[in-house]
Amino acid sequence: MFLSIKNIPKVSWSSDKPMNFKPKISTFLFLCFGLVLFGLGEGLLIVSLTGASPWSVLAQGISLNVDLSIGTITLFISIGVLLFWLPLNQKPGIGTILNALIVALMIDISIALIPSPTNYISQLLLAIFAVLIVGLGSGFYLVANLGPGPRDGLMTGIQKKTNLPIAAVRAFLEITVVSIGWYLGGTVGIGTLLFAFGVGPAVALGLFLVGKIFYR
């Protein structure tokens, strides 16, 4: 059912174009809501102690070697990734900028306020829940259609320049960042694998639910 989704649904509050810098209030609010969920999910995955998403593994690894929080490092990574957009002729939208800011903030808030589970089953359940939350947040964020996130834009930009399959480009980026993050001390575990293999179906489910609830 939802796994067969091939297109991002259009709903009443979807922006007509990604480069819309004067979106409807409803579009802006649903975008922010989606990004809050996305950042919360990323933070919950870290809190689960089962491993983080590939880019969060990188942020975690760097944060262990400098006196900065994971959220702050995530923001700096997003800014660095945006610099790579320049030779790729990618253009940021409102969603791109808010993605960098809100996700980084929510990761730090989640880590600060939510305690880690004390037993493995609870940790595993929290990791699964985190991936689902990321998927639901992605559904709102993508349906808003106000520009790709920094990492998604890098992926699509490289794909356009190289003409390689999108899956190959994504795999290359994810493997590269998780390897660097792991080398620097970031946590890689079952949660990392859950994210790698589960985020695709979770995003599809998120898109399906948002499309069904707000179908116009």
Above 90 in pLDDT, residue 2? no
Q: Per-residue pLDDT averaged across 78-89, rounded? A: 93
CB atoms within 10 A of CB 161: 13
In a domain, 1, yes or no: no
Tokens 């819309």 belong to residue: 20
List beta partners, residue 215.
Answer: 11
In this prediction, residue 164 carries a pLDDT of 87
In a domain, 115, yes or no: yes
State the chain's mean pLDDT as an integer: 93
* 20-27 long-range Cβ contacts below 8 angstroms, 24+ apart: 20/93, 20/94, 20/146, 21/93, 21/94, 23/94, 23/144, 23/146, 27/144, 27/146
Question: Which residues, 6+ apart, have CB-to-CB distance to 154 below 8 Å?
Answer: 81, 84, 85, 88, 90, 173
In this prediction, residue 216 carries a pLDDT of 65
In a domain, 200, yes or no: yes
In this prediction, residue 166 carries a pLDDT of 76
Q: What value, to the nearest 5°, has the Cα angle with vertex 81 and ends 200 and 184?
A: 80
In a domain, 3, yes or no: no
**C-beta of residue 45 within 8 angstroms of C-beta of residue 110:** no
What phi and psi, each to the nearest 5 degrees, are found at residue 215? Answer: -55, 135
Binning pLDDT at 50, 70 and 90, where does residue 15 land? very high
In this prediction, residue 179 carries a pLDDT of 96
In this prediction, residue 5 carries a pLDDT of 76
pLDDT digits (tens, 9 = 90+) for 122-138: 999 999 999 999 999 99
| Number of compact structural domains in the chain | 1
Above 90 in pLDDT, residue 34? yes
Binning pLDDT at 50, 70 and 90, where does residue 91 land? confident
Binning pLDDT at 50, 70 and 90, where does residue 8 land? confident
Range of the domain at 83: 23-213
Q: Per-residue pLDDT averaged across 161-174, rounded? A: 87
pLDDT digits (tens, 9 = 90+) for 60-71: 999 999 999 999
In a domain, 40, yes or no: yes
In a domain, 9, yes or no: no
pTM metric for this prediction: 0.93
In a domain, 119, yes or no: yes
